[in-house]
Amino acid sequence: MPTAIALNVTVKPAGRIRQKNEKAIIAAAEVEFARHGFKGTSMNAIALAVGLPKANLHYYFNNKLGLYIAVLNNILDQWDAAFSDLEKEDDPAIALSRYIRAKMEISRTQPLASRIFAMEVISGGEHLNAHFSQDYRQWFRQRAAVLQDWIDAGKMDPVDPLSLIFLLWSSTQHYADFSSQICSLTGKNALKKSDFEQAVDNLEHIILKGLGLKKPGLH
């Protein structure tokens, strides 16, 4: 027993330190990849930004491609987790409202990761092939099936589930990917939290009303 206790005490801090360092590395990598793209970014620049020796960086990520894919997977995992919460038993107005809010909050707090993803897709998405595997396509079809279940049950107006998913994705990511355009057209220096809150309210109203749903009183 004493040996097992000692092992637990040793492993837990090491795990926390690793997670903390990986999070810091990914955050620094987001800035560099967003500024310079995949080809223009070096592992040395990321190491300098995060304050770690380059050798230490390779301890966590073997190479630049591995780190780049980790950045992409990090944002995709968060987006997908928010969408996975939708179930056919849910009230679609409440479920979709929560999803819109969750996606917009990620756009507000992690705009660089969203832009990196957008640049990758625009350039052909070759580094996303592994992520968009058969398993992911199956997950995507299951998400669309939930929307279709709501339609079949008369819970919302009939629309093409795939088109609705693409609309949800694009509209909520727009405020991260095209924030410079929004600021230029509205005369703002940067988008504030209040701007995102107003955008969420508008998106909820437009999307839910288009589906024949009433906006729930969540706040």
List C-alpha distances in Å: 143 to 73, 103, 149, 173.
19, 16, 10, 18
Domain with CATH 1.10.357.10 in the chain: 72-219
Q: For residue 41, give the nearest of 28, 53, 51, 52 by alpha carbon.
A: 28
pTM, entire model: 0.83
Percentage of the chain lying above the pLDDT 90 cut: 69
Looking at domain 1-62, its CATH class is mainly alpha
Q: What average pLDDT does range 39-53 have in this prediction?
A: 92
> What six digits make up the tokens of 188?
């703002």
Looking at domain 72-219, its CATH class is mainly alpha
Q: What angle do CA 74, 80, 83 make, to 5 degrees?
A: 150
Backbone angles phi, psi at 199, to 5 degrees: -65, -40
Backbone angles phi, psi at 36, to 5 degrees: -120, -5
In the predicted model, is pLDDT for residue 3 greater than 80?
no
pLDDT recorded at residue 150 = 97
> What six digits make up the tokens of 155?
């819970």
* Spatial separation of the C-alpha atoms in residues 41 and 33, rounded to whole Å: 6
pLDDT recorded at residue 215 = 87
Q: What average pLDDT does range 137-156 have in this prediction?
A: 96
Q: What average pLDDT does range 74-103 have in this prediction?
A: 92
Domain with CATH 1.10.10.60 in the chain: 1-62
